[in-house]
Amino acid sequence: MTQPRILVARAIFPDIAQRLRQHFDVEVNTDDVVWTPAELAARAADKQGVLTTGSERIDAALLAAAPQLRIAANMAVGYNNFDVDAMAAAGVQGTNTPDVLTETTADFGFALLMATARRMAESEHFLRAGLWKKWSYDMFAGGEVHGSTLGIIGMGRIGQGIARRGAHGFGMKVVYHNRSRLSAALEAECKATYVGKEELLATADHVVLVVPYSAASHHTIGAAELALMKPTATLINIARGGIVDDAALAAALREGRIAAAGLDVFEGEPSVHPDLLTVPNVVLTPHIASATVATRRAMATLAADNLIAFFDGRGPLTPVNTPTAQAAAMRALAR
């Protein structure tokens, strides 16, 4: 029996690619170039499965170009690079990598908050530039972290992890806003109080964004929302580019309308809005919130496990959509 053909659309840990080879006929993008949609479509044209990262879009055009494709396993918890409805209608399963990155990503969110509030990047640049000549009473004096108010927009697993760190580790008052309220038990565990978005923006000392990207969450924070924040507040985005209007944020930072921002994700990344590169009061990191060796291995392993379980007939482990049975059956027969 011929093995399913799998495309690994970006480089991954060689031993995990090797494990996939025990189950599948595998093509790996070992050069790790980010393919254009046309290149991806050409590579996927004869494949039954694809392992993607957030850089590869699985949309109607790709689905049409890859008629045998049955599953796309994303090595990310966010899956806004998938058109899940088009995939479901075409009978294509999507999967993601939840849970395995929750605590690591929450660690990073908290690290970025601290670096931003305590001006670590800005002061390091100052030191490296040879500008440090003397101690002074207000040199790089930042905002307090412990005991301050932490506002979390998006209270899924990662948001809850950040809330626990803030409330239990740093004695912070935690307020959150989410599409739906947490259970009373989870609210108690996270010591978090549900508030409206406007109240959160007006009262939080540190606003952390952890919402999934969708058309509805586009520019969750724009000029109007920034105007509601305290001039001493910080804004942290570890969610997705496009959740924040980066141009409006750069203007607010330049004009001191908020104190500082910490950004791990950007609109149009890996391009970064040029104004963000010139304002001093922003900490910029290249989308690395889940980047520990152990967590990236766990993510790649879960993406591989999804492919293996799916083709074994055990079903996807962490599905993000429910493909139409009839369309899925048609794809299983496509040659």
Active site residues per annotation:
240, 269, 287
Q: Which residue in 6, 12, 71, 76 binds ligand GLV (CB under 6 A)? A: 76
Residue closer to ligand GLV by CB (options 282, 300) is 300
What would the x/- binding string for ligand GLV be over residues 163 to 182, using CB under 6 A? Answer: --------------------
What would the x/- binding string for ligand GLV be over residues 23 to 62, using CB under 6 A? Answer: -------------------------------x--------
- In this chain, which stretch among 58-66, 71-79, 127-135, 319-327 interacts with ligand GLV, using CB under 6 A? 71-79
H-type helices in 93-177, by residue range? 102-117, 120-128, 157-164, 170
Contact 139, 158 (CB under 8 A): no
**Cβ of residue 314: shortest distance to ligand GLV, in angstroms?**
23
**What's the maximum distance between 2 C-alpha atoms anywhere in the chain?**
74
Number of neighbours of residue 53 by Cβ within 10 angstroms: 20
Residue 171's Cβ-side half-sphere holds a number of Cα atoms within 13 Å equal to 3
**Cβ of residue 79: shortest distance to ligand GLV, in angstroms?**
7
**Which residue has the CB atom at the shortest distance from ligand GLV?**
78
Site membership for ligand GLV, residue 78 (CB under 6 A): yes
Residue 31 burial (CB < 10 Å; 0-12/13-18/19+)?
Answer: exposed
**Cβ of residue 118: shortest distance to ligand GLV, in angstroms?**
24
Residue closer to ligand GLV by CB (options 226, 239) is 239
Handedness of CA 261, 262, 267, 269 (dihedral sign): positive
Residue for token digits 């969610």? 239
Residue closer to ligand GLV by CB (options 53, 116) is 53
d(CA 17, CA 267): 31
Number of neighbours of residue 214 by Cβ within 10 angstroms: 11
Residue closer to ligand GLV by CB (options 183, 271) is 271
Contact 238, 112 (CB under 8 A): yes
Contact 143, 199 (CB under 8 A): no
- In this chain, which stretch among 31-39, 76-84, 158-166, 244-252 interacts with ligand GLV, using CB under 6 A? 76-84
- In this chain, which stretch among 74-82, 254-262, 276-284, 327-335 interacts with ligand GLV, using CB under 6 A? 74-82
> Contacts with ligand GLV in 94-113 (CB under 6 A)?
101
Give the residues across from 98 on adjacent strands. none
Contact 264, 289 (CB under 8 A): yes
Residue closer to ligand GLV by CB (options 216, 333) is 216
- In this chain, which stretch among 70-78, 184-192, 219-227, 253-261 interacts with ligand GLV, using CB under 6 A? 70-78
Angle formed at CA 322 by CA 210 and CA 244, multiple of 5 degrees: 20
Q: Which residue in 16, 62, 73, 77 binds ligand GLV (CB under 6 A)? A: 77
Contact 148, 206 (CB under 8 A): yes
Contact 263, 282 (CB under 8 A): yes
> Contacts with ligand GLV in 267-296 (CB under 6 A)?
290
- Residues in contact with ligand GLV by the rule CB under 6 A: 54, 76-78, 101, 290
